[in-house]
Structure 1
Amino acid sequence: MGWNRWYSLKSYLRSSLWAVPLMAVAIYAVVKPLTEMLGRWMIRQAILDPKTGFLGLSMTGARSLLGDIVSADLGFLVFTFGSLLVAIQVAGGQYTPRIIATTLLRDNVIRSISGLFVFTMLFADRTLGWMGENEVHQLQVFIAAIFGFASVVAFLFLIDYAAKSLRPVSLVARVGKHGMAVIESVYPAPTSGASIPLESDKERSVPNRIVLHRGESGIVLAVNLERLVAKARRTDSVIEFVPQVGDFVAVGEPMFHLYGNSGAIDEKRLRTLVAFGTERTMEQDPMFAFRILVDIALKALSAAINDPTTAVLAIDQVHRLLRVVGQRSLHIEEIVDRSGQVRVILRTPNWEDFVHLCFCEIRQYGGGSIQIARRLRAAIENLVQCLPEHRHDALRVELALLDRTIVSMFSFPEDLALARIPDSQGLGGSATSTAHD
C-alpha cells in the first residue's frame, strides 16, 4: 500500500464512527474465550462454585440479569446513534457542514462509549447462551455485571457530554484547539521579519518536466515532505509541488514541476507521496480551521439564524489563532536537505491570505451589527499591538475597510460612535478592553 492510500485510510478511520465499535468486536473475540478458560480452571481448582460463586445467583437470576444487560446496552446503542444523527443534522444546519467530519465524528469519547456498549452487549449475550441448564458461570456473569454497570454510568455521562459538546462555545473551542496544533506543526519557526521574495523563482521559471495528476480528481489532504526531499536529494533535482494543501486538483492538471535531473524520477512513485480525499482535513491544512470558524460566524450572522453572539465566539477563536500565525514564520516555500540545498518547493498561505480569510467575509456580512463591528475592531487593534511591525500593513487595511463599512451601515451618529468602540465582548465589555489568549 502506497503512502497516499495509507494516509487516506487513516484519515477515513479517524472520522468513522464505526471503527471503534468494530475494534470492540475484535476485543470481545479475544477476551471472551480467555474468561471462559479462566472460569473453567477456577471451577476445577474448586475456587469458584458454579452455583454460588461471586454473586450467588441462581440460574433464573443470572439469566434475568444478563437479559437486562443485553436489552439495556441495545437500547443505549440505538439512542446513541439516533441522537448522533440528529446532532449531525442540527450542527450541519446551524453551524457548518464542515464541522461534522472534522469534529463530531472524530470525537473519541462518543466512539469509545459506543465501543463499550457493543462489547458489553456481545459479552452478556454470549454468556447467556453459553450457560447450561444447571450451571451458572459465575465469573462470566460477574464480569458482565461489571461492564453492565459501567455502561449505565457511561450512558448517563454521554447524555451530559453530548449536551455540553454541542454548545457553540464548545464547538468553536475544539476547532480552535485543533487549529492551534496544526499551526504549530506546519509553522514551527518564529517570525524573523518581513519575507523576502525568492530569487530562485526566476531561475526555475521553466520546469524541465511536468507531472500531471492521474487517477481521480480530489482535494489535496497531505504531502509527504520527508520522502519528497529524500527523492529529490537522491536524484539531485528540485521538486515543486504545484497546488496547495486543501486545493481541488482535477485529472490532468499539473501536480509537480521538476527541475534538474528530472528524468531519474519515477512519476508513479512520486504521485504516491500525495494524499487525496473528498473533503479537506486539518492535519496539514492550517487554513481549514480558519475556514470552519469563519463559516460558523457567517451562518450565525445569516438572516435565518441571526445570532451575532455565536459569531463573536467564533471571532474569539479566529483572533486567537491569527495572533499565533502572526508570530510564526510563514515563508517556508523552499525546503532544504541536510546540506542546505533546496530540494522541495511547497506553496503555503501568506499573512495576507490569513487576514483576508479572517476578516473580509465577516465584515461584509456582519458590518451592520454593532456587536460584530466592535469585536472586529478589538481584534484588529489587539493584533496591531502584539504582532511585529511587518504584520501591521494588512491589519491597518482591514481596519480602514471596517471604518468605511460601518460608516455606510449606520446613519445615526450615536450608533456610529458606538460601533467604533473596540470591545472584546462585542457589547458589554469595557471600552478599553483588549482580548487575551
Structure 2
Amino acid sequence: MDWNRWYSLKSYLRSSLWTVPLVAVAIYAVVKPLTEMLGRWMIGHDILDPKTGLFALSMTGARSLVGDIVSADLAFLVFTFGSLLVAIQVAGGQYTPRIIATTLLRDNVIRSISGLFVFTLLFANRTLGWMGDSEVHQLQVFIAALFGFASVVAFLFLIDYAAKCLRPVSLVARVGEHGIAVIESVYPDPATGRTTPPRLGHERGVPGRIVRHSGTSGIVLAVNLERLVAKARHTNSVIEFVPQVGDFVAVDEPLFYLYGDSDAIDENRLRTLVAFGTERTMEQDPMFAFRILVDIALKALSAAINDPTTAVLAIDQLQRLLRVVGKRSLYSEEITDKSGLGRVIYRTPNWEDFVHISFREIRQYGAGSIQIARRQRAAIENLLQCLPEHRHDALRVELTLLDRAIGSKHPFPEDLALARIPDSQGLGGSESSTARQPVL
C-alpha cells in the first residue's frame, strides 16, 4: 500500500468511533472459546463444581443474572450512541464543527467504554445461549458478571466524563494540548534569536519540471518528508512542495516544483508521498489548532450565542500556544540531507501568520466587548514579557490595532479607560495582578 493511502487510512481509523467496538468483537471471538475450554477443563479435573463453584447459582438464577447483563449492556449501548449523536450536534452548533473529528470522535475513553459494552453484550449473550437445561456454566457466568459489573461502573463514569468533556474549558484545553504536540513535532528546534529568513523557492529560478496534482481534489493532510529528502538526494535534485499542509489543492494544480537533475523522478511515486483528505487534521498542521480555537471564540462572540467568557477561554489557549510557538525556530523551509545540502523546500507558517490568526478576527468581532479587549491586551503584554525580542514587532502591531479598535467602539471615556486595562480574566481581575504575572 502506498504511503498516502496508508496515512489516510490511519487518520480515518483514529477519527472513527466504530473501530474500537470492532476490535472488541475480535477479542470476543478469541476470548470466548478459550474461556469455554477452560471451564470444561476445570470441570473435568474437579477444580470447579458446576453446582457449587463460584456463585453456585441455580439455572434460574444464572439465566436471570446473565439476561439482566444482556439487557443492561444493550441499554448502555443505545444510550451511549444516542447521547453521542446529540453531543456532536450540540458541540458542532455551539462551538465549531471542526472539533467533532479532531476531539470528540478521537476520544479514547468514549471509544474504549463502547468497546467494553459490545464485548460484554456478546459474551453474556453467548453465555446465555450456551447454557443447557441442566448445567450451569459457573465460570462463564462469573466472567459475564464481572464484565457486567465493570459495564455498570463504566457507564456511570461515562456520564460524568461526557458532561465534563463537553464543557468549553475542557474542549479548548484539549485542543491546546494537541496543538502544543503538533508545534513541537513540526518545529523541534528552539528559537535562535533571528528573524525568519526570506523564502528560498524564488531564488532557484524556473523549475525544471512541474508535477501537478491528479486524482481527486482535497486538502493536504501530511507529507512524507523523509522519503522526499531521500528521493531528492538519490537523484541529486531539489524538490519544492508547493502548497502548505492544510491547503486545498484542486486537480491539475502544481504540487511539486523540481530543480536540477529531475528526469529520474517518477511523478506517480512522488504523488504517493502526499496524503489528501476532505477535512484538515492536526498531525502535521500546526495552524489548525489555532483555527479551531479562533472559530470557537468567533462562534461565542456571535449575536446568536453571545458568550464572551467562552471566547476568553479560547484566548487563554491561544496565548498558551503562542508562548510555545514563539520560543521555537520557525524556519524549517529548506530541509537538508545528512551532508547538509538543501534537498526539499517545505513551507510552514511563520510567526506573523500565528499572530495574525490569533488576534485579528477575534479583535474584529470582539473589540466592542470590554471583556475581550482586556483579555487580548493581557495576552499581548504577557507575550511581550516572555518571548524573545525578535517576536515583539508583530505583537506591538496587534497592540496598536487593538487600541485603535476599542477607541472606535467605546464612545464613553470611562468605558474606554476600563477596556484598556489588561486583565487575564477578561473582566474581574485587577490591573496590578495582571502586571505581576511571572515570566515563565
Instruction: Name 1:258's counterpart in structure 2.
Output: 258
Distance 1:103 1:280 in 2: 13
Count residues with an aligned counterpart: 437
> What does the per-residue CA deviation read over 1:167-224, in whole Å, with 9 as the maximum and x for residues that have no partner?
0000000000000100010001111123353484454121000000011000000000
1:288 aligned residue: 288
Does the CA contact (< 8 Å) of 2:200 and 2:345 recur in 1? no
Aligned to 2:313: 313
Q: Which amino acid aligns with 1:69?
A: I
SS at match of 1:264: coil
Q: Distance in 1 between matches of 2:199 and 2:19?
A: 48
Counterpart residue number, 2:224: 224
User: In 1, are the aligned partners of 2:201 and 2:240 still within 8 Å (CA)?
Assistant: no
Q: Structure 2 matches for 1:28-67, cutoff 5 A?
A: 28-67=28-67
Q: What are the residue-to-residue correspondences of 1:409-420 with 2, within 5 Å?
A: 409-420=409-420
Seen in structure 2, the aligned counterparts of structure 1 residues 241 and 174 have a Cα distance that, compared at 3 Å, is same
In 1, Cα distance between the equivalents of 2:343 and 2:218? 26
TM-superposed CA distance for 1:40, in Å, is 0.5
- What corresponds to 1:146 in structure 2? 146
Q: How does 1:157-306 map to 2 (within 5 A)?
A: 157-195=157-195, 197-198=197-198, 200-306=200-306
Contact kept in structure 1, 2:196 and 2:350, CA below 8 Å: no
The residue type equivalent to 2:191 in the other structure is T
Which whole-Å deviations, capped at 9, do the CAs of 1:258-288 have from their partners, x for residues lacking one?
0111111011111111000000000000000
CA contact (8 A) 1:223 1:275 kept: yes
RMSD over aligned Cα atoms: 1.1
The CA distance in 2 between the partners of 1:196 and 1:33, in whole Å, is 62
State the Cα deviation string for residues 72-103 of structure 1 (Å, max 9, x = none): 00000000000000000000000000000000
Secondary structure of the corresponding residue to residue 400 of structure 1: helix
Structure 1 letter corresponding to 2:297: A
Aligned partner letter, 1:81 = F
**Match for 2:21: what amino acid?**
P
| Partner residue in 2 for 1:9 | 9
CA distance in 2, matches of 1:71, 1:110: 20
> What is the identity, as a one-letter code, of the residue corresponding to 1:266?
D
1:173, 1:26 → 2: CA distance?
Answer: 34
2-structure distance, mates of 1:375, 1:6: 43
Q: Kindly report structure 1 stretches of 4+ aligned residues shifted beyond 6 Å.
A: none
- What pairs up with 1:364-375 in 2 under 5 angstroms? 364-375=364-375
Question: d(CA) in 1 for partners of 2:60 and 2:227?
Answer: 63
User: Given that residues 227 and 273 in structure 1 are in contact (C-alpha distance below 8 angstroms), is that contact kept between their aligned partners in structure 2?
Assistant: yes
Q: Secondary structure at the match of 1:38?
A: helix
- Provide the TM-score with structure 1 as the length reference: 0.99
Partner of 1:137: 137
Q: Is the 8 A contact 2:201 2:345 kept in 1?
A: no
- Are the counterparts in 2 of residues 52 and 58 from structure 1 also a CA contact under 8 Å? no
One-letter code aligned to 1:195: T
Paired residue for 1:108? 108
Q: CA deviation at 1:344?
A: 0.5
Q: Distance in 2 between matches of 1:353 and 1:149?
A: 52
Deviations 1:240-259 (A, max 9, x none): 00000000000000000001
Match of 2:85 in 1: 85
Q: Tell me, yes or no, if the aligned pair for 1:175 and 1:289 is still in contact at 8 Å.
A: yes
**Contact in 1 for aligned 2:20/2:112 (Cα 8 Å):** yes
Residue 75 of structure 1 corresponds to which residue in structure 2? 75
Name structure 1 gaps, 5 residues minimum: none
Q: Distance in 2 between matches of 1:372 and 1:339?
A: 50
**Residue 156 of structure 1: CA displacement?**
0.3
Indicate the residue corresponding to 1:356 in structure 2. Answer: 356
Shift of 1:231: 0.7
* Structure 2 unaligned residues grouped into runs of 5+: none
Q: Distance in 2 between the 1:289 and 1:202 partners?
A: 29
For 2:332, the equivalent position in structure 1 comes to: 332
Q: Counterpart of 1:191 in 2: which secondary structure?
A: coil
- 1:128 is matched with 128
SS at match of 2:219: strand
Instruction: Work out the CA distance in 1 between the residues paired with 2:385 and 2:115.
Output: 49
Question: For the residues of structure 1 that align with 2:213 and 2:355, how far apart are their CA atoms?
Answer: 31
Change (3 A) 1:241 1:52: same
Q: Check whether the contact 2:242–2:254 (CA below 8 A) recurs between aligned residues.
A: yes
2: CA distance, partners of 1:195 / 1:2: 38
Mapped partners of 1:251, 1:358: distance in 2: 31
Q: Do the aligned partners of 2:196 and 2:330 also contact (CA within 8 Å) in 1?
A: no
Q: Distance in 1 between matches of 2:114 and 2:85?
A: 14
Q: Give the AA of the match of 2:40.
A: R
User: Residue in 2 aligned with 1:393?
Assistant: 393
1:340 partner letter: G
Partner SS state of residue 239, structure 2: strand
3-state SS of 1:132 partner: coil
Aligned mates of 1:129, 1:235 — CA distance in 2 = 64
Tell me the CA shift for residue 386 of structure 1: 1.1
Report the Cα offset of residue 291 of structure 1.
Answer: 0.3
TM-score (ref. length: structure 2)? 0.98
Show CA shifts across 1:321-341 (max 9, x none).
011111111111000000001
Displacement of 1:131 in angstroms is: 1.0
| 1:404 matched residue in structure 2 | 404
